Chains A and B, each alone.
Chain A
Amino acid sequence: MRRLADIAAPVVLLLVLCGIWEASVRLLEVPTYFLPPPSAVLLAIIERAPLLLVSAWNTLQMALLGLFFASITGMVIALIAGLHRLFEKAVRPIAIALQVTPVVALAPLVSIWAGLDHPGRAVVGLAAVVAFFPILSGALSGLKATDRDLERLFRLYGAGPLQTLVRLRLPSAAPMIVEGHRVAAGLAVIGAVVGEFVAGSGATQGLAWRILEAGNRLRTAEMFAAVVVLMLLGLMVHGAMGVFERRMLERWRGKAR
Protein backbone atom coordinates (compact mmCIF):
# COMPACT_ATOMS: atom_id res chain seq x y z
CA MET A 1 0.00 0.00 0.00
CA ARG A 2 2.76 2.35 1.02
CA ARG A 3 4.83 1.47 -2.04
CA LEU A 4 1.85 2.15 -4.25
CA ALA A 5 1.46 5.57 -2.66
CA ASP A 6 5.16 6.26 -3.16
CA ILE A 7 4.84 5.50 -6.87
CA ALA A 8 1.53 7.36 -7.22
CA ALA A 9 2.70 10.57 -5.51
CA PRO A 10 4.95 11.94 -8.30
CA VAL A 11 2.42 10.88 -10.96
CA VAL A 12 -0.37 12.75 -9.18
CA LEU A 13 1.83 15.83 -8.77
CA LEU A 14 2.71 15.72 -12.47
CA LEU A 15 -0.97 15.47 -13.43
CA VAL A 16 -1.91 18.36 -11.12
CA LEU A 17 0.87 20.56 -12.56
CA CYS A 18 -0.20 19.69 -16.11
CA GLY A 19 -3.80 20.52 -15.15
CA ILE A 20 -2.81 23.96 -13.83
CA TRP A 21 -0.70 24.52 -16.97
CA GLU A 22 -3.57 23.52 -19.27
CA ALA A 23 -6.12 25.64 -17.40
CA SER A 24 -3.97 28.78 -17.20
CA VAL A 25 -2.98 28.63 -20.87
CA ARG A 26 -6.63 28.38 -21.83
CA LEU A 27 -7.91 31.01 -19.38
CA LEU A 28 -5.17 33.55 -20.14
CA GLU A 29 -5.43 32.82 -23.88
CA VAL A 30 -1.67 32.41 -24.27
CA PRO A 31 -0.77 32.01 -27.96
CA THR A 32 0.32 28.42 -28.75
CA TYR A 33 3.59 29.50 -30.40
CA PHE A 34 4.52 30.99 -27.00
CA LEU A 35 3.34 28.23 -24.68
CA PRO A 36 1.23 25.35 -25.97
CA PRO A 37 -1.04 23.51 -23.51
CA PRO A 38 0.04 19.99 -22.46
CA SER A 39 -2.80 18.54 -24.51
CA ALA A 40 -1.25 20.04 -27.66
CA VAL A 41 2.16 18.62 -26.68
CA LEU A 42 0.63 15.19 -26.19
CA LEU A 43 -1.08 15.46 -29.56
CA ALA A 44 2.21 16.45 -31.19
CA ILE A 45 3.96 13.45 -29.59
CA ILE A 46 1.31 11.08 -30.89
CA GLU A 47 1.20 12.62 -34.35
CA ARG A 48 4.95 12.65 -34.80
CA ALA A 49 5.68 9.46 -32.86
CA PRO A 50 7.39 7.56 -35.72
CA LEU A 51 9.73 10.45 -36.53
CA LEU A 52 10.44 11.13 -32.84
CA LEU A 53 11.25 7.48 -32.21
CA VAL A 54 13.67 7.33 -35.14
CA SER A 55 15.27 10.57 -33.93
CA ALA A 56 15.54 9.25 -30.38
CA TRP A 57 17.18 6.11 -31.72
CA ASN A 58 19.67 8.24 -33.68
CA THR A 59 20.54 10.31 -30.62
CA LEU A 60 20.88 7.19 -28.48
CA GLN A 61 23.11 5.53 -31.07
CA MET A 62 25.43 8.54 -31.26
CA ALA A 63 25.54 8.81 -27.47
CA LEU A 64 26.34 5.12 -27.02
CA LEU A 65 29.01 5.25 -29.71
CA GLY A 66 30.54 8.20 -27.86
CA LEU A 67 30.33 6.25 -24.60
CA PHE A 68 32.07 3.33 -26.27
CA PHE A 69 35.01 5.46 -27.47
CA ALA A 70 35.21 7.22 -24.10
CA SER A 71 35.26 3.86 -22.34
CA ILE A 72 38.13 2.54 -24.46
CA THR A 73 40.31 5.65 -24.20
CA GLY A 74 39.44 6.22 -20.53
CA MET A 75 40.24 2.64 -19.54
CA VAL A 76 43.47 2.43 -21.55
CA ILE A 77 44.74 5.68 -20.04
CA ALA A 78 43.67 4.62 -16.53
CA LEU A 79 45.47 1.28 -16.88
CA ILE A 80 48.69 2.91 -18.08
CA ALA A 81 48.39 5.45 -15.26
CA GLY A 82 47.90 2.53 -12.89
CA LEU A 83 51.31 1.17 -13.86
CA HIS A 84 53.16 4.49 -14.00
CA ARG A 85 52.58 6.88 -11.13
CA LEU A 86 54.19 9.79 -12.94
CA PHE A 87 51.94 9.27 -15.96
CA GLU A 88 48.94 9.53 -13.67
CA LYS A 89 50.27 12.78 -12.19
CA ALA A 90 50.68 14.11 -15.73
CA VAL A 91 47.25 13.01 -16.95
CA ARG A 92 45.06 14.10 -14.05
CA PRO A 93 45.31 17.91 -14.41
CA ILE A 94 44.72 17.69 -18.15
CA ALA A 95 41.69 15.48 -17.62
CA ILE A 96 40.32 17.88 -15.00
CA ALA A 97 40.91 20.86 -17.31
CA LEU A 98 38.96 19.06 -20.01
CA GLN A 99 36.22 18.29 -17.51
CA VAL A 100 35.73 21.90 -16.31
CA THR A 101 35.68 23.34 -19.83
CA PRO A 102 32.00 23.70 -20.79
CA VAL A 103 31.20 21.21 -23.52
CA VAL A 104 29.33 23.88 -25.49
CA ALA A 105 32.59 25.81 -25.84
CA LEU A 106 34.35 22.80 -27.29
CA ALA A 107 31.56 21.95 -29.70
CA PRO A 108 32.52 24.33 -32.56
CA LEU A 109 36.12 23.08 -32.44
CA VAL A 110 35.13 19.46 -32.49
CA SER A 111 32.77 20.13 -35.36
CA ILE A 112 35.61 21.69 -37.39
CA TRP A 113 37.92 18.75 -36.65
CA ALA A 114 35.26 16.23 -37.49
CA GLY A 115 34.85 17.90 -40.85
CA LEU A 116 31.84 19.96 -41.77
CA ASP A 117 30.61 17.11 -43.96
CA HIS A 118 30.50 14.73 -41.00
CA PRO A 119 28.30 16.28 -38.30
CA GLY A 120 27.62 12.77 -36.94
CA ARG A 121 31.29 12.40 -36.07
CA ALA A 122 31.25 15.71 -34.21
CA VAL A 123 28.22 14.59 -32.18
CA VAL A 124 29.85 11.26 -31.30
CA GLY A 125 33.09 13.09 -30.50
CA LEU A 126 31.40 15.47 -28.09
CA ALA A 127 29.50 12.66 -26.41
CA ALA A 128 32.85 10.91 -25.96
CA VAL A 129 34.52 14.04 -24.56
CA VAL A 130 31.96 14.49 -21.78
CA ALA A 131 31.72 10.75 -21.03
CA PHE A 132 35.49 10.41 -20.82
CA PHE A 133 36.11 12.08 -17.46
CA PRO A 134 33.85 10.07 -15.14
CA ILE A 135 35.17 6.84 -16.66
CA LEU A 136 38.81 7.86 -16.26
CA SER A 137 38.26 9.31 -12.81
CA GLY A 138 36.30 6.29 -11.56
CA ALA A 139 38.91 3.88 -12.91
CA LEU A 140 41.84 5.88 -11.49
CA SER A 141 40.31 6.08 -8.02
CA GLY A 142 39.24 2.45 -8.18
CA LEU A 143 42.72 1.28 -9.15
CA LYS A 144 44.11 3.09 -6.12
CA ALA A 145 41.48 1.85 -3.65
CA THR A 146 43.02 -1.61 -3.31
CA ASP A 147 43.21 -3.23 0.12
CA ARG A 148 46.75 -2.62 1.44
CA ASP A 149 47.03 -6.06 3.02
CA LEU A 150 45.96 -7.79 -0.18
CA GLU A 151 48.67 -5.84 -1.98
CA ARG A 152 51.15 -7.10 0.61
CA LEU A 153 50.00 -10.68 0.02
CA PHE A 154 50.50 -10.28 -3.70
CA ARG A 155 54.01 -8.98 -3.06
CA LEU A 156 54.72 -11.78 -0.59
CA TYR A 157 53.73 -14.36 -3.18
CA GLY A 158 55.94 -12.74 -5.78
CA ALA A 159 53.42 -11.01 -8.06
CA GLY A 160 54.84 -8.41 -10.49
CA PRO A 161 53.26 -5.00 -11.16
CA LEU A 162 51.38 -6.23 -14.23
CA GLN A 163 50.07 -9.32 -12.42
CA THR A 164 48.98 -7.15 -9.48
CA LEU A 165 47.23 -4.75 -11.85
CA VAL A 166 45.32 -7.41 -13.76
CA ARG A 167 44.57 -9.82 -10.94
CA LEU A 168 44.11 -7.48 -7.99
CA ARG A 169 43.74 -3.81 -8.77
CA LEU A 170 41.48 -4.12 -11.81
CA PRO A 171 38.97 -6.46 -10.14
CA SER A 172 39.08 -4.33 -6.98
CA ALA A 173 38.24 -1.30 -9.10
CA ALA A 174 35.33 -2.99 -10.88
CA PRO A 175 32.55 -1.38 -8.80
CA MET A 176 34.00 2.12 -9.27
CA ILE A 177 34.56 1.50 -12.97
CA VAL A 178 30.93 0.45 -13.40
CA GLU A 179 29.79 3.49 -11.42
CA GLY A 180 31.90 5.73 -13.69
CA HIS A 181 30.25 4.21 -16.75
CA ARG A 182 26.79 4.76 -15.28
CA VAL A 183 27.47 8.48 -14.78
CA ALA A 184 29.18 8.66 -18.17
CA ALA A 185 26.17 7.20 -20.00
CA GLY A 186 23.92 10.02 -18.75
CA LEU A 187 26.50 12.61 -19.73
CA ALA A 188 26.98 11.06 -23.17
CA VAL A 189 23.32 11.77 -24.00
CA ILE A 190 23.80 15.39 -22.93
CA GLY A 191 27.00 15.61 -24.98
CA ALA A 192 25.28 14.19 -28.03
CA VAL A 193 22.44 16.73 -27.77
CA VAL A 194 24.85 19.65 -27.32
CA GLY A 195 26.90 18.38 -30.25
CA GLU A 196 23.87 18.20 -32.45
CA PHE A 197 22.78 21.72 -31.53
CA VAL A 198 26.15 23.15 -32.53
CA ALA A 199 27.32 20.87 -35.30
CA GLY A 200 23.97 19.52 -36.32
CA SER A 201 22.55 19.74 -39.74
CA GLY A 202 19.77 17.70 -41.23
CA ALA A 203 22.33 14.93 -41.64
CA THR A 204 22.26 13.90 -37.98
CA GLN A 205 18.47 13.65 -37.55
CA GLY A 206 18.56 13.30 -33.77
CA LEU A 207 16.19 14.74 -31.19
CA ALA A 208 18.12 18.01 -30.98
CA TRP A 209 17.59 18.45 -34.69
CA ARG A 210 13.85 17.93 -34.17
CA ILE A 211 13.92 20.77 -31.63
CA LEU A 212 15.88 23.09 -33.95
CA GLU A 213 13.64 22.27 -36.87
CA ALA A 214 10.40 22.83 -34.97
CA GLY A 215 11.83 26.01 -33.41
CA ASN A 216 12.66 27.49 -36.79
CA ARG A 217 9.05 27.00 -37.83
CA LEU A 218 7.70 28.26 -34.49
CA ARG A 219 5.97 24.92 -33.91
CA THR A 220 6.38 25.15 -30.17
CA ALA A 221 4.27 22.09 -29.36
CA GLU A 222 6.58 19.99 -31.51
CA MET A 223 9.60 21.45 -29.70
CA PHE A 224 8.04 20.40 -26.42
CA ALA A 225 7.30 16.96 -27.84
CA ALA A 226 10.97 16.45 -28.72
CA VAL A 227 12.04 17.72 -25.27
CA VAL A 228 9.66 15.28 -23.58
CA VAL A 229 11.01 12.37 -25.63
CA LEU A 230 14.55 13.50 -24.83
CA MET A 231 13.68 13.51 -21.15
CA LEU A 232 12.20 10.00 -21.42
CA LEU A 233 15.34 8.86 -23.25
CA GLY A 234 17.49 10.27 -20.44
CA LEU A 235 15.37 8.51 -17.82
CA MET A 236 15.60 5.26 -19.75
CA VAL A 237 19.39 5.42 -20.02
CA HIS A 238 19.60 6.32 -16.32
CA GLY A 239 17.34 3.40 -15.35
CA ALA A 240 19.08 0.91 -17.63
CA MET A 241 22.51 1.84 -16.31
CA GLY A 242 21.21 1.56 -12.73
CA VAL A 243 20.03 -1.99 -13.42
CA PHE A 244 23.31 -2.75 -15.20
CA GLU A 245 25.30 -1.49 -12.19
CA ARG A 246 23.26 -3.59 -9.74
CA ARG A 247 23.63 -6.73 -11.86
CA MET A 248 27.37 -6.25 -12.22
CA LEU A 249 27.82 -5.72 -8.49
CA GLU A 250 25.80 -8.83 -7.71
CA ARG A 251 27.96 -10.82 -10.06
CA TRP A 252 31.10 -9.30 -8.63
CA ARG A 253 30.18 -10.17 -5.04
CA GLY A 254 28.74 -13.49 -6.05
CA LYS A 255 25.21 -12.78 -4.76
CA ALA A 256 23.62 -14.07 -7.95
CA ARG A 257 24.58 -17.68 -7.27
Chain B
Amino acid sequence: MIAALRDVVVEYEGRGRALGPFSLTVQPGEIVAVAGPSGCGKSTALRLLAGLEAPTSGEVVREVGRGRTSLVFQAPTLMPWADAAANVALPLELAERPAGERAERVAHALRRVGLSDAARAFPAQLSGGMAMRVSLARALVTEPKLLLLDEPFAALDGLTRRTLVEDVHRLWEQTRPAIVFVTHDVEEAVYLASRVVVMTAGPGRAATEVAIDAPLPRHAGFRATELFRNAVEDITEALDAAARRVA
Protein backbone atom coordinates (compact mmCIF):
# COMPACT_ATOMS: atom_id res chain seq x y z
CA MET B 1 0.00 0.00 0.00
CA ILE B 2 1.26 3.46 -0.84
CA ALA B 3 -1.73 5.62 0.05
CA ALA B 4 -5.28 4.97 1.18
CA LEU B 5 -8.53 6.69 1.97
CA ARG B 6 -10.53 4.98 4.72
CA ASP B 7 -14.19 5.95 4.98
CA VAL B 8 -13.37 9.56 4.33
CA VAL B 9 -16.09 12.19 4.32
CA VAL B 10 -15.49 15.76 3.22
CA GLU B 11 -17.98 18.45 4.09
CA TYR B 12 -17.59 22.07 3.05
CA GLU B 13 -19.15 24.90 4.98
CA GLY B 14 -22.21 26.15 3.14
CA ARG B 15 -22.02 23.48 0.46
CA GLY B 16 -22.65 20.41 2.55
CA ARG B 17 -21.14 17.03 1.89
CA ALA B 18 -18.88 16.85 -1.17
CA LEU B 19 -17.53 13.32 -0.81
CA GLY B 20 -18.03 10.03 0.93
CA PRO B 21 -17.98 7.94 2.83
CA PHE B 22 -15.39 6.71 0.36
CA SER B 23 -12.51 4.25 0.57
CA LEU B 24 -9.68 3.62 -1.86
CA THR B 25 -6.40 1.80 -1.42
CA VAL B 26 -3.56 2.45 -3.88
CA GLN B 27 -0.85 -0.22 -4.25
CA PRO B 28 2.69 0.71 -5.30
CA GLY B 29 3.10 0.80 -9.07
CA GLU B 30 -0.53 0.25 -10.02
CA ILE B 31 -2.70 2.44 -12.23
CA VAL B 32 -6.17 3.13 -10.84
CA ALA B 33 -8.79 5.16 -12.65
CA VAL B 34 -11.56 6.87 -10.73
CA ALA B 35 -14.57 7.54 -12.94
CA GLY B 36 -17.66 9.40 -11.93
CA PRO B 37 -20.10 12.11 -12.98
CA SER B 38 -18.96 15.71 -12.57
CA GLY B 39 -19.40 17.05 -9.06
CA CYS B 40 -19.03 13.65 -7.41
CA GLY B 41 -15.95 14.69 -5.45
CA LYS B 42 -13.29 12.98 -7.60
CA SER B 43 -10.95 15.94 -7.42
CA THR B 44 -11.53 16.24 -3.68
CA ALA B 45 -10.52 12.58 -3.27
CA LEU B 46 -7.33 13.33 -5.21
CA ARG B 47 -6.50 16.32 -3.01
CA LEU B 48 -6.96 14.10 0.05
CA LEU B 49 -4.53 11.56 -1.41
CA ALA B 50 -2.07 14.38 -2.06
CA GLY B 51 -2.34 15.49 1.56
CA LEU B 52 -3.51 18.94 0.48
CA GLU B 53 -6.77 18.72 2.40
CA ALA B 54 -7.90 16.94 5.55
CA PRO B 55 -11.13 14.92 5.61
CA THR B 56 -14.00 15.94 7.89
CA SER B 57 -14.06 12.36 9.15
CA GLY B 58 -12.30 9.14 8.21
CA GLU B 59 -8.62 8.54 7.72
CA VAL B 60 -6.03 9.31 5.05
CA VAL B 61 -2.96 7.08 5.09
CA ARG B 62 0.09 8.18 3.14
CA GLU B 63 3.22 6.06 2.95
CA VAL B 64 4.92 8.53 0.60
CA GLY B 65 6.56 11.76 1.57
CA ARG B 66 5.24 15.00 0.13
CA GLY B 67 8.25 15.26 -2.12
CA ARG B 68 7.38 11.93 -3.79
CA THR B 69 3.81 12.92 -4.67
CA SER B 70 2.99 14.78 -7.87
CA LEU B 71 -0.21 16.30 -9.12
CA VAL B 72 -1.33 17.16 -12.66
CA PHE B 73 -4.48 19.22 -13.18
CA GLN B 74 -7.00 19.53 -15.99
CA ALA B 75 -5.29 22.73 -17.14
CA PRO B 76 -1.51 22.75 -17.62
CA THR B 77 -1.27 25.19 -14.65
CA LEU B 78 2.08 26.60 -15.71
CA MET B 79 3.54 29.88 -14.52
CA PRO B 80 3.06 32.18 -17.55
CA TRP B 81 6.10 34.30 -16.66
CA ALA B 82 8.52 31.38 -16.66
CA ASP B 83 9.76 29.29 -19.59
CA ALA B 84 9.19 25.54 -19.86
CA ALA B 85 12.47 24.62 -18.15
CA ALA B 86 11.82 26.99 -15.24
CA ASN B 87 8.33 25.57 -14.84
CA VAL B 88 9.64 22.03 -14.74
CA ALA B 89 12.36 23.06 -12.29
CA LEU B 90 9.82 24.44 -9.80
CA PRO B 91 9.48 21.38 -7.51
CA LEU B 92 13.27 21.01 -7.33
CA GLU B 93 13.74 24.69 -6.62
CA LEU B 94 11.18 24.66 -3.81
CA ALA B 95 12.99 21.62 -2.40
CA GLU B 96 16.22 23.64 -2.67
CA ARG B 97 18.14 21.15 -4.77
CA PRO B 98 21.54 22.36 -6.05
CA ALA B 99 21.47 24.12 -9.42
CA GLY B 100 23.62 21.54 -11.23
CA GLU B 101 21.40 18.62 -10.26
CA ARG B 102 18.35 20.72 -11.08
CA ALA B 103 19.45 21.50 -14.63
CA GLU B 104 20.31 17.88 -15.29
CA ARG B 105 17.00 16.53 -14.00
CA VAL B 106 14.98 19.19 -15.80
CA ALA B 107 16.68 18.36 -19.09
CA HIS B 108 16.02 14.67 -18.48
CA ALA B 109 12.33 15.25 -17.64
CA LEU B 110 11.83 17.40 -20.74
CA ARG B 111 13.54 14.74 -22.86
CA ARG B 112 11.19 12.11 -21.44
CA VAL B 113 8.13 14.03 -22.66
CA GLY B 114 9.83 14.84 -25.98
CA LEU B 115 10.15 18.57 -25.40
CA SER B 116 13.91 19.13 -25.23
CA ASP B 117 13.66 21.74 -27.97
CA ALA B 118 10.97 23.73 -26.18
CA ALA B 119 12.91 24.29 -22.95
CA ARG B 120 13.16 28.05 -23.55
CA ALA B 121 9.57 28.48 -24.78
CA PHE B 122 7.03 30.33 -22.64
CA PRO B 123 3.62 28.79 -21.91
CA ALA B 124 1.90 31.31 -24.23
CA GLN B 125 3.99 29.96 -27.10
CA LEU B 126 3.09 26.30 -26.49
CA SER B 127 0.15 24.38 -27.93
CA GLY B 128 -2.34 22.82 -25.53
CA GLY B 129 -0.77 19.38 -25.86
CA MET B 130 2.76 20.70 -25.43
CA ALA B 131 1.78 22.69 -22.34
CA MET B 132 0.26 19.52 -20.88
CA ARG B 133 3.53 17.67 -21.55
CA VAL B 134 5.45 20.38 -19.70
CA SER B 135 3.01 19.88 -16.85
CA LEU B 136 3.71 16.13 -16.95
CA ALA B 137 7.46 16.75 -17.02
CA ARG B 138 7.11 18.95 -13.92
CA ALA B 139 5.24 16.13 -12.19
CA LEU B 140 7.88 13.57 -13.19
CA VAL B 141 10.95 15.62 -12.33
CA THR B 142 10.74 14.61 -8.66
CA GLU B 143 10.62 10.89 -9.61
CA PRO B 144 7.30 10.53 -7.78
CA LYS B 145 6.09 7.32 -6.17
CA LEU B 146 2.52 8.54 -6.39
CA LEU B 147 1.31 10.43 -9.44
CA LEU B 148 -2.15 11.99 -9.22
CA LEU B 149 -3.81 13.02 -12.49
CA ASP B 150 -6.95 15.14 -12.27
CA GLU B 151 -8.67 14.86 -15.69
CA PRO B 152 -5.41 15.93 -17.28
CA PHE B 153 -6.50 15.60 -20.90
CA ALA B 154 -10.11 16.80 -20.65
CA ALA B 155 -9.39 20.06 -22.46
CA LEU B 156 -7.50 18.52 -25.39
CA ASP B 157 -8.70 17.25 -28.77
CA GLY B 158 -9.15 13.55 -29.37
CA LEU B 159 -5.93 12.83 -31.22
CA THR B 160 -3.71 14.72 -28.80
CA ARG B 161 -5.45 12.88 -25.97
CA ARG B 162 -4.69 9.49 -27.44
CA THR B 163 -1.00 10.31 -27.86
CA LEU B 164 -0.77 11.62 -24.32
CA VAL B 165 -2.47 8.53 -22.92
CA GLU B 166 0.17 6.41 -24.69
CA ASP B 167 2.82 8.73 -23.23
CA VAL B 168 1.51 8.16 -19.73
CA HIS B 169 1.93 4.40 -20.18
CA ARG B 170 5.41 4.79 -21.63
CA LEU B 171 6.49 7.07 -18.77
CA TRP B 172 4.90 4.77 -16.20
CA GLU B 173 6.91 1.82 -17.55
CA GLN B 174 10.19 3.61 -16.89
CA THR B 175 9.81 4.33 -13.16
CA ARG B 176 6.57 2.55 -12.19
CA PRO B 177 4.93 5.16 -9.97
CA ALA B 178 1.47 4.43 -8.63
CA ILE B 179 -0.96 6.47 -10.72
CA VAL B 180 -4.42 7.59 -9.67
CA PHE B 181 -6.25 8.97 -12.64
CA VAL B 182 -9.52 10.85 -12.32
CA THR B 183 -11.72 11.08 -15.41
CA HIS B 184 -15.29 11.11 -16.62
CA ASP B 185 -14.25 9.51 -19.89
CA VAL B 186 -14.95 5.77 -19.60
CA GLU B 187 -12.87 4.67 -22.61
CA GLU B 188 -9.87 6.57 -21.34
CA ALA B 189 -10.26 4.98 -17.90
CA VAL B 190 -10.41 1.45 -19.33
CA TYR B 191 -7.48 2.04 -21.64
CA LEU B 192 -5.22 3.53 -18.99
CA ALA B 193 -5.91 1.66 -15.79
CA SER B 194 -5.69 -1.86 -14.46
CA ARG B 195 -8.80 -1.21 -12.41
CA VAL B 196 -11.55 1.35 -12.61
CA VAL B 197 -13.40 2.59 -9.54
CA VAL B 198 -16.85 3.95 -10.39
CA MET B 199 -18.28 6.65 -8.15
CA THR B 200 -21.87 7.73 -7.60
CA ALA B 201 -23.07 11.26 -8.20
CA GLY B 202 -22.13 13.74 -5.48
CA PRO B 203 -21.49 13.29 -2.64
CA GLY B 204 -19.58 10.42 -4.23
CA ARG B 205 -19.33 6.93 -2.83
CA ALA B 206 -17.77 3.91 -4.47
CA ALA B 207 -20.47 2.32 -6.64
CA THR B 208 -18.49 -0.57 -8.12
CA GLU B 209 -15.03 -1.56 -9.22
CA VAL B 210 -14.08 -3.17 -12.54
CA ALA B 211 -10.73 -4.89 -13.08
CA ILE B 212 -9.25 -4.65 -16.58
CA ASP B 213 -7.39 -7.94 -17.05
CA ALA B 214 -4.97 -7.07 -19.83
CA PRO B 215 -1.27 -6.19 -19.75
CA LEU B 216 -0.06 -2.60 -19.48
CA PRO B 217 0.90 -0.81 -21.67
CA ARG B 218 -1.86 -1.82 -24.08
CA HIS B 219 -1.12 -3.44 -27.41
CA ALA B 220 -1.98 -1.65 -30.64
CA GLY B 221 -5.47 -3.02 -31.24
CA PHE B 222 -6.62 -3.00 -27.62
CA ARG B 223 -9.50 -0.59 -28.23
CA ALA B 224 -10.98 -3.06 -30.75
CA THR B 225 -10.93 -6.08 -28.40
CA GLU B 226 -14.00 -7.56 -26.80
CA LEU B 227 -12.46 -7.17 -23.36
CA PHE B 228 -12.15 -3.42 -23.90
CA ARG B 229 -15.66 -3.02 -25.28
CA ASN B 230 -17.24 -5.14 -22.54
CA ALA B 231 -15.44 -3.23 -19.81
CA VAL B 232 -16.54 0.08 -21.31
CA GLU B 233 -20.11 -1.20 -21.51
CA ASP B 234 -20.09 -2.46 -17.88
CA ILE B 235 -18.68 0.76 -16.52
CA THR B 236 -21.01 2.96 -18.55
CA GLU B 237 -23.96 0.99 -17.17
CA ALA B 238 -22.64 1.24 -13.65
CA LEU B 239 -22.23 4.99 -14.08
CA ASP B 240 -25.78 5.30 -15.38
CA ALA B 241 -27.14 3.30 -12.47
CA ALA B 242 -25.12 5.34 -10.00
CA ALA B 243 -26.46 8.56 -11.44
CA ARG B 244 -30.06 7.24 -11.47
CA ARG B 245 -29.92 6.15 -7.84
CA VAL B 246 -29.42 9.73 -6.84
CA ALA B 247 -31.95 11.22 -9.26
Contacts and interface: CB of A to CB of B under 8 A. Distances in A.
B is bound to A: yes
A171 B122 CA distance: 14
A145 interface: no
Interface string B93-115: 11100000000000000000000
B81 A252 contact: yes
Contacts of A157: 66-67, 90-91, 94-95, 142
A166 to B, nearest CB: 11
A96 interface: no
Contacts, number: 63
Given A152-B47, A152-B52, A257-B122, A158 B66 contact: yes
B124 A253 contact: yes
B124 A254 contact: yes
Contact of A150 (B47, B77, B125): B77
Nearest to A152: B52
Interface string A127-171: 000000000000000000001011011111111000100011001
Given A152-B52, A253-B122, A158 B94 contact: yes
B94 A163 contact: yes
A255 B80 CA distance: 11
Contacts of B94: 154, 157-159, 163, 167
Contacts of B70: 156
A174 interface: yes
A156 B124 contact: no
Interface residues of A, number: 22
Contact of B71 (A153, A168, A171, A255): A153
Interface string B115-129: 000001111110000
Contacts of A159: 94
Interface residues of B, number: 29
B203 to A, nearest CB: 21
B80 A153 contact: no
Contacts of A257: 120, 122
Contacts of A150: 77, 79
A149 B51 CA distance: 14
B125 A254 contact: yes
B75 interface: yes
B83 to A, nearest CB: 6
A253 B121 CA distance: 10
B2 to A, nearest CB: 16
A123 B84 CA distance: 47
B71 A254 contact: no
B80 A253 contact: yes
Interface of A: 147, 149-150, 152-159, 163, 167-168, 171-172, 174, 252-255, 257
24 contacts: A149-B77, A150-B77, A152-B50, A152-B52, A153-B77, A153-B90, A154-B94, A155-B52, A156-B51, A156-B69, A157-B67, A157-B90, A157-B91, A157-B142, A167-B94, A171-B79, A171-B81, A171-B82, A174-B81, A254-B83, A254-B122, A254-B125, A255-B122, A257-B120
